[in-house]
């Protein structure tokens, strides 16, 4: 049974007198920096000197430094830069300035789990990973709510790594919703699997296959788009709000019967075997190696070519035209 923690289990005093350096100011970076600051934590932001986010962060009233300068000032460094550049930034601009007793923190375990970074023995290494996009982490905090978060410890030199991570999560607002304890291995491997097999890779290929099946059978592309892509959000929203039972209680009897009738035909033994193969690639490190090799090449092996090919699919043009009819989407 997973351990769950709330604000009553967290001690924000553990962050008193500490300087937290947020490396990066993207979706998660801006939310972490602002939420922590408003929770009374001393925050600095580390960015490249030519970063477009520099002035944005300053306009929020944050102190901004180049990454190595922020690392020098910090007692706790939170790495919130893309996975593919995180190790390079850490090795060149953070690691030389870590001191015994410092804390190195991540919001995703990729670089630590796959040994792309090797933290020194004298520091704590932990994770605080909100289970929502940065804009939601920020907006929920401002409303007095929070987004559930994961917390994990990789290296506990001080004996207080978990307590400090819980304090950080609480300062983000996560303690209002719930903080779940995990490991770097579990978070990394389940996150990658979910993205590849279901959330991004699986669901988009399922929608594309449905769209193409109807169009190839002679149905209008607009009808195929509505039925296989547009309405996906309606179904997912019902599931998120109350689970599969809520969704099945909300749809028609025809749709529910069709669910039971066809679901296993679509997602059968072959798909489940493919999912196991995907998971094995993740667990073995093969995916991580492939990913880093792709970005080391300048994304020219398959990333950019695949992006271009996907963007030119017929359903993208059909979808663009249909979305222009829905004024509420523009908001």
Indicate which CATH number applies to the domain containing 293.
1.10.1040.10
Q: What is the pLDDT along the chain (331 residues), one digit of tens a residue?
A: 899 999 999 999 999 999 999 999 999 999 999 999 999 999 999 999 999 999 999 999 999 999 999 999 999 999 999 999 999 999 999 999 999 999 999 999 999 999 999 999 999 999 999 999 999 999 999 999 999 999 999 999 999 999 999 999 999 999 999 999 999 999 999 999 999 999 999 999 999 999 999 999 999 999 999 999 999 999 999 999 999 999 999 999 999 999 999 999 999 999 999 999 999 999 999 999 999 999 998 888 899 999 999 999 999 999 999 999 988 886 5
Quote the CA–CA distance of 138 and 36 in Å, as a whole number: 10
Closest Cα to residue 28, out of 89, 82, 80?
A: 80
244 assigned binding-site residue: no
> Do 138 and 284 reside in the same domain of the chain?
no
User: Would 34 be classed as within a structural domain?
Assistant: yes
> Do 215 and 310 reside in the same domain of the chain?
yes
> Do 103 and 152 reside in the same domain of the chain?
yes
25 assigned binding-site residue: yes
186 assigned binding-site residue: no
86 assigned binding-site residue: no
Indicate which CATH number applies to the domain containing 109.
3.40.50.720
User: Would 221 be classed as within a structural domain?
Assistant: yes
- Last residue of some domain: 147, 181, 215? 181
Number of domains the chain is built from: 2
What single DSSP character describes residue 51? -
> Do 174 and 200 reside in the same domain of the chain?
no
Quote the CA–CA distance of 203 and 196 in Å, as a whole number: 9
Q: List the catalytic residue out of 30, 32, 108, 113.
A: 108
- Last residue of some domain: 157, 181, 205? 181
48 assigned binding-site residue: yes
> Do 130 and 226 reside in the same domain of the chain?
no
Closest Cα to residue 146, out of 252, 38, 3?
A: 38
Q: Residue 257 belongs to what H/E stretch?
A: helix 253-266
Quote the CA–CA distance of 201 and 3 in Å, as a whole number: 30
Q: Please provide the DSSP assignment of 101-135 as one string.
A: T-EEEESS-HHHHTTSS---TTSEEEEEEESS-HH
> Do 136 and 250 reside in the same domain of the chain?
no
> Do 157 and 230 reside in the same domain of the chain?
no
- Last residue of some domain: 181, 203, 218? 181
Quote the CA–CA distance of 116 and 110 in Å, as a whole number: 8
In the chain the beta strands, taken as DSSP E runs, fall at 4-5, 19-23, 42-47, 63-66, 76-79, 103-106, 124-130, 149-155, 179-181
User: Would 46 be classed as within a structural domain?
Assistant: yes
> Do 167 and 217 reside in the same domain of the chain?
no
Quote the CA–CA distance of 31 and 128 in Å, as a whole number: 13
> Do 149 and 201 reside in the same domain of the chain?
no
CB atoms within 10 A of CB 126: 27
User: Would 190 be classed as within a structural domain?
Assistant: no
Structural domain of residue 232, as residue ranges? 195-325
> Do 98 and 176 reside in the same domain of the chain?
yes
93 assigned binding-site residue: no
> Do 42 and 75 reside in the same domain of the chain?
yes
To the query of whether residue 261 is one of the catalytic residues in this protein, the response is: no
324 assigned binding-site residue: no
> Do 165 and 223 reside in the same domain of the chain?
no
């Amino acid at each position: 049974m997973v351990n769950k923690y709330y604000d009553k289990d967290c001690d924000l005093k553990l962050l008193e007198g500490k300087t937290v350096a947020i490396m990066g100011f993207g979706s998660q970076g801006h939310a972490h920096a602002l939420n922590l600051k408003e929770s009374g934590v001393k925050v600095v932001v580390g960015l490249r000197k030519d970063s477009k986010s520099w002035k944005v962060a300053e306009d929020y009233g944050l102190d901004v430094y180049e990454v190595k300068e922020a690392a020098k000032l910090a007692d706790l460094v939170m790495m919130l830069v893309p996975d593919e550049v995180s190790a390079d930034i850490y090795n060149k601009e953070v690691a030389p300035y870590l001191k015994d007793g410092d804390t190195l923190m991540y919001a995703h375990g990729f670089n630590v789990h796959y040994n792309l970074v090797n933290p020194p023995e004298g520091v704590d290494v932990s994770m605080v990973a909100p289970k929502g996009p940065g804009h939601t982490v920020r907006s929920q905090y401002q409303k007095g709510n929070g987004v559930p978060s994961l917390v994990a410890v990789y290296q506990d030199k001080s004996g207080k790594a978990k307590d400090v991570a819980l304090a950080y999560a609480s300062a983000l607002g996560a303690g209002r919703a719930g903080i779940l304890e995990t490991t770097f291995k579990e978070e990394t491997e389940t996150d990658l699997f979910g993205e590849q097999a279901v959330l991004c890779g699986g669901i988009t290929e399922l929608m594309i296959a449905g769209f193409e099946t109807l169009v190839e059978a002679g149905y209008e592309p607009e009808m195929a788009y509505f039925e296989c892509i547009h309405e996906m959000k309606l179904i997912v929203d019902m599931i998120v709000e109350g689970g599969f039972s809520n969704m099945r209680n909300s749809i028609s009897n025809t749709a529910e019967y069709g669910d039971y009738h066809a679901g296993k035909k679509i997602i059968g033994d072959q798909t489940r075997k493919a999912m196991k193969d995907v998971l094995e690639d993740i667990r073995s490190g093969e995916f991580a190696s492939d990913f880093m090799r792709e970005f080391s090449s300048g994304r020219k092996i398959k990333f950019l070519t695949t992006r271009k090919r996907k963007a030119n699919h017929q359903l993208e043009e059909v979808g663009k035209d249909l979305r222009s009819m829905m004024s509420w989407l523009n908001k």
